[in-house]
Structure 1
Amino acid sequence: MILAALIGFTAGLGAVLIKNLTHLIQLLLEGEFISNYHNAFYFIFPVIGIAITLLIIKYGIRNSVGHGIPSTLYAISKMKGIMKPYQMYASLLTAPITVGFGGSVGLEGPTVATGASLGSNISRLFNMNQATRTLLIGCAAAGAMSSIFKAPIAAIVFAIEVFSLDLTLASLLPLLLASVSAILTSYFFFGSEIILPFTLKDSFEISDVPYYILLGVIAALCSIYFTRVYFRINKLFKRIKSPLHRLLIGGGSLGILVYLIPPLYGEGYDVINNLLQEDYLKAMGNTFFNAYFDNFWVVISLLFGLIIFKIVATSLTFNAGGIGGIFAPVLFMGSTMGHCFALFINHLNILKSPLSTSNFTLVGMAGLMAGVLQAPLTAIFLIAELTHGYELFVPLMITAAISFMITTRFLPHSVYTMELAARGELITHNKDQAVLTLMDINQVIETNFIKLKLGMTLGEIIHNGVVKSSRNIFPVVDDKNSFMGILLLDDIRAIMFDKSLYDSVKIDELMQSAPDVIDADKDGAREIMKKFQDSDAWNLPVVSSNKYMGFVSKSKLLTAYRKKLIEVTV
């Protein structure tokens, strides 16, 4: 409990530092020295920020700085919750520069990563076990989110949903303490200032329910678009090996986008706040269309452009080398989507009373969060807490639920977890799946099997294999140690004492194919369990690049499973 409160405080402090460093950089860029050139050359700033970030990573940190939440999830699933010390300050140094110079990403992911690394290293300092270490990482994530948004309940729900923590009394109290200590830290440094200072003006109308349902469907479509564009651009940039080329191509493309669409500059919370106030001039910035904002179709087209190109700008920022998160871009796109939808419906003049654009702007954020992040409860509670009440709770539930259901039908995993899930490294609320993911298969590989080589005679098998082994199974390999098959003691039991056959019978006539083979490079514990189940074997050979490594026995695998289950649930 004490460590949870301490970690909540440090995570809150990390959030304060990241936010203040970002604001300091933004303030310097708007100072007297640059102010005369800011409007003309502001689109160059993101490229400069990403270049500085790359230099800090290469010559300062000298380690890869992964995306915040995915790297934390990887640490939980494959690194026993151990995060390296440099991760405590890596995002703290790089994210404010990326975002402060106008990179089209958010600060939430890096803040969570910083807090999670602090939680991991503090728990290691006090010799906590893996289960407690994972819980304290969740406490750090809850603390970071609580400090950023001043939404302590949503922060707890976020930690449970995204990090797949068990909702028990043993986990809830530490999360609560961490969330509270973090928000107190935020209040101490920032007072009552919040990112989205908005109070509901319009009440929920039951007649609006069909439109909230339709908004949920649109949110799902936008969520699918967001995710697929994000990974498509990532895939394209993976073909570019040179970091300099990635910077020039990604940064240059980002600069062009920001020049044409100024609201894509930076996190975008100012745009969201201006949309909530229906101040389109401030929301859109200086564009070629400022003189035409009286025209409905110009406003709708510009808002639609923000929906389409925000994820493009975010992906370009990441792939050029910037460090940030996708939480803010999701809120940006969701708010624009909801606002655009309400404006369009109102323009049709089919309703007796127009839809509340501010309400649909807020609910749109929840809809996209539920789809892209696949965290519907976080979306509901976050918007409810940001608006200081639960007036919108019903429409939030409707839109978030529909968006989540449709999106998961086409995309079973969120942006955070898709790559981890593809590699079988994702922790979920499925306890069996979680234990299998956490298991280290290398620890159950047995190597005390005597290898037999192709071309050996029956006599050599007996003298070099059977006599020296206590096993009844033998791997057969060639001269390059490539796995060729197995030989069972039962295969030679009938002839093993007939010495007249010792020189004439070769191993090639006696060996057989293995019931199945475990590929150490590809197969995780879940796949291995399935191979044992399907083959009904008791021992299966393990290979790496077709080279023999050893065997895994069903009994040892089940023993390791039981030990890991006890370890992660105690």
Structure 2
Amino acid sequence: MYIRFVNYLDNINQYRKSKISNRNFLIILAVVVGILAGLAAAALKSLTHHIEEFLQSDWQWKYKYYLYLLFPMIGIFFTVLYIKFFIRKSKFETGLTPLLYAISKKSSRVEPHNIYSQIITAAITVGFGGSTGLEAPIVTSGSAIGSNLGRFLGLSYREITMLVACGAAAGIAGAFNSPVAGIVFAIEILLPEFTIPAFIPLLLSAATAAVVARLFYTQQLFFLVTEGWKINALFYYVILALLIGLFSIYFTKANYAVKGFFYKIKHPYTKIVVGGLMLGALVFLFPTLYGEGYITIKGLLKGDYLAVINNSIFSDYSTVPALVILFTVVTIFMKSIATLVTLGAGGNGGTFAPSLIMGGLIGFIFAYVVNLSGIAHLDVANFIVAGMAAALGAIMHAPLTGIFLIAEITGGYILMVPLMITTAISYAVNRSAQKHSIYTKVLADKGELLSHEDKDTTVLSQMKLKYLIEKNYPKVEMNDLIALRMNEIVQSHKNICAVTDELGDFKGVIYVEELFNELMQNENKDLLIASYLVQQAPNTINESDDLKSVLKKMEQENAWILPVINNENQYKGFVSKTAIFNKYRALLMRQNDYMG
């Protein structure tokens, strides 16, 4: 049955290729991905908001507010249970790092369950008060749609990668109603190389998702009322950018510290209890930390400068400016901890929305303090918006995404210059201390990251040594008579021969040219054994080595070919520069044929 289905699908593909070019077919698929990702974004937002409304408004119980301390832990618990019982055959991972790994090392294969599992788990986590965002899950869901559609239709790696990027762009476009930001995000974060033909599928996918999502949600996320920016405020935008750049460095370091803390807790339910109680306490003290936190930013943009403190147990002191300032500053740092605790304890979500919230709060408190001091009069809303763009650009290492996303979701295109200045400076500050973003550092440390800057490393990282090992070289054992193996050695047309013991352990090599010279000169050539001619190899390659280290060894030894062994010193074959370079050229040609 399965074979018949595969054959039927192959026949359809062959017919399609004869009628529609790959480029046009990808455009059609991009629209399909856009529709499906737009529906996924709408489903995620709707499900999350329904859970929030049920817990906060629809469900009436005299003592329900005491459960607000436990809601985040309950959400994480349900998320972990869902993963345990419904996702058994594959690994469930959160954030954008697994998606980048899939592009880099798994031929853009994103597990099918991500299409729905990301939506369900993120809605539960955030709906119950988990302090994360919905954007990373919807990006993964959209990318999974593109990946599995491409694999189902038998497309090539580059074409599937294109659909993965289309799904990610569509996810952002659907979540924020921001198609331009979706395109820029896909280009900055996911695509190893951008080509002009790739722009069309991205554009159509993002635009389609935005239209589909808008059928369900027509309300703009943020409303910005501004008269524009003033030239004398540019100095303060620079100061804000430096502050956010430094904060982004702190956030990156805190990310690894919190991850390390939860990594030491081995039992998953212990993580839930520890993380849930920490998160519940933080949400109780700082209500802004509940869920995504966009409501607070909306209040601040409307001029309600007490929105951060009003719903907290400290609201009675909201008339004291110093306390408002202190409370907001603490909230900023607690938001970072709450987000990382939610993820470390087992919840699903991303740092996309938290970056916006933290940046917006920094922009607010900076402008608020300057205005209170009387040094200058700054437009607080403008600085909130600039802070959001700067934080997103610095933390994610995606400055263009930060600029265009904030401009789109606030309607603040009039602030394009301040957005560009603050985002560029904050990104530069972060990049000076952190070469890689929080999404890419783990992959970069393992050598598993596709690099825009080092194309050789990028291509080599896609190549697997096991597929380049040549096993047709002659092999003899230490005690073999050369005369009895001579026919095999000559017919192989190879200039080198491997030598092993009777157990297959690698002992060295025999160079065929030296073997012939010895046979010409040795009177007892019929009694010549392999151990007499064996030489130590210049170096050996372990079958688990990456191609970059293989080439480095070859350069160090000035060798064109080296033997390959496993961890037990068992001989596996030879690898040559010729095989590596041929594969390298083939990959380059496949990349150049991106949209052909």
TM (norm. structure 2) is 0.88
Which residue of structure 2 lines up, in the alignment, with residue 438 of structure 1? 462
Quick one: which of 388, 393, 414 aligns to 2:411? Answer: 388
RMSD in angstroms over aligned alpha carbons?
2.5
Aligned equivalent of 1:545: 567
Task: Report the CA distance between 1:285 and its aligned residue.
Answer: 5.0
Contact residue 237 and residue 246 of structure 1 kept, 8 A: yes
Cα distance in 2 for residues equivalent to 1:348 and 1:519 = 65
Which region of structure 1 is more displaced relative to structure 2, 393-402 or 38-47?
38-47
Q: Render the CA deviation track for 1:320-370: whole Å, top value 9, x for unaligned.
A: 11111110111111111111222222233222xx11221111111111111
* CA spacing shift, 1:506–1:480, aligned 2, 3 Å: closer
Provide the residue aligned with 1:320 in structure 2: 345
User: Do the aligned residues in 1 keep the contact of 2:537 with 2:562 (CA within 8 Å)?
Assistant: no
Asked if 1:79 is matched to 2:106, the reply is yes
Task: Please list every run of 5 or more consecutive structure 2 residues that lacks an aligned counterpart in the other structure.
Answer: 1-26
Q: For the structure 1 residues 503 and 23, does the alpha-carbon distance in structure 2 shift closer, same or farther, using more than 3 Å as the test?
A: same
Q: Deviations over 1:122-161 (max 9, x none)?
A: 1223322221111111111111111111111111111100
What residue is the counterpart of 2:24 in the other structure? none
Q: CA deviation at 1:115?
A: 0.7
Q: What are the residue-to-residue correspondences of 1:64-143 with 2, within 5 Å? A: 64-143=91-170
Q: For the residues of structure 1 that align with 2:62 and 2:304, how far apart are their CA atoms?
A: 25
Partner of 1:558: 581
What is the Cα deviation at residue 283 of structure 1? Answer: 2.7
Structure 2: distance between partners of 1:466 and 1:285: 90
**For residues 359-438 of structure 1, what are the structure 2 equivalents within 5 Å?**
359-430=382-453, 431-438=455-462
Query: Residues 138 and 165 of structure 1 are in contact (CA less than 8 Å); yes or no, is this contact kept in structure 2?
Result: no
Q: Which amino acid aligns with 1:78?
A: K
Residue 74 of structure 2 aligns with an amino acid whose one-letter code is I
**Separation in structure 1 between the aligned mates of residue 538 and residue 310 of structure 2, nearest angstrom:** 67
Quick one: which amino acid aligns to residue 70 of structure 2?
A: I
Partner of 2:20: none
Worse overlay, 170-179 or 560-569: 560-569
1:448 aligned residue: 472
CA contact (8 A) 2:118 2:140 kept: yes
* C-alpha deviation, 1:445, in angstroms: 1.8
Offset from partner CA, 1:306-332 (integer Å, 9 cap, x none): 221222211211121111111011111
- Against the structure 1 CA distance between its residues 202 and 480, is the aligned structure 2 distance closer, same or farther, given a 3 Å change threshold? farther
Partner SS for 2:574 = strand
The question of 1:244 aligning with 2:266 is answered no
Q: Which runs of 5+ in 1 are unaligned?
A: none
Q: Paired residue for 2:313?
A: 288
Return closer, same or farther for 1:423/1:34 CA change in 2, 3 Å cut-off.
farther
Q: Deviation of residue 44 (structure 1)?
A: 0.6
Tell me the TM-score normalised to structure 1 length: 0.91
1:511–1:136 distance in 2 versus 1, CA, 3 Å: same
State the identity %. 38
Secondary structure of 1:190's partner? coil
Letter in 1 for 2:48: T
| Cross-structure match for 1:472 | 495
CA–CA distance in structure 2, aligned partners of residues 346 and 80 of structure 1: 53
In structure 2, how many angstroms separate the alpha carbons of the residues matched to 1:105 and 1:21? 15
One-letter amino acid matched to 2:312: T
Q: How does 1:349-360 map to 2 (within 5 A)?
A: 349-351=374-376, 354-360=377-383
Q: CA deviation at 1:504?
A: 9.3
Offset at residue 243 of structure 1 (A): 1.3
| AA aligned opposite 1:41 | L
Number of residue pairs matched by the alignment: 561
1:262-282 CA distance string (max 9 Å, x none): 221211111221222342443
Q: Match of 2:83?
A: 57
2:4 — aligned with what? none
Q: CA 1:323 to 1:508, structure 2 compared with 1: closer, same or farther past 3 Å?
A: farther
Distance 2:141 2:394 in 1: 25
* Aligned CA distance change for structure 1 residues 558 and 224 (closer, same or farther; 3 Å): same
SS in 2 for 1:30: helix
Q: Which of 189, 205, 212 is equivalent to 2:216?
A: 189
2:184 to 135, 157, 177: 157
Q: Is the 8 Å Cα contact of residues 224 and 301 (structure 2) preserved in structure 1?
A: no
Describe the shift of the 1:360–1:502 C-alpha distance in structure 2 as closer, same or farther (beyond 3 A): farther
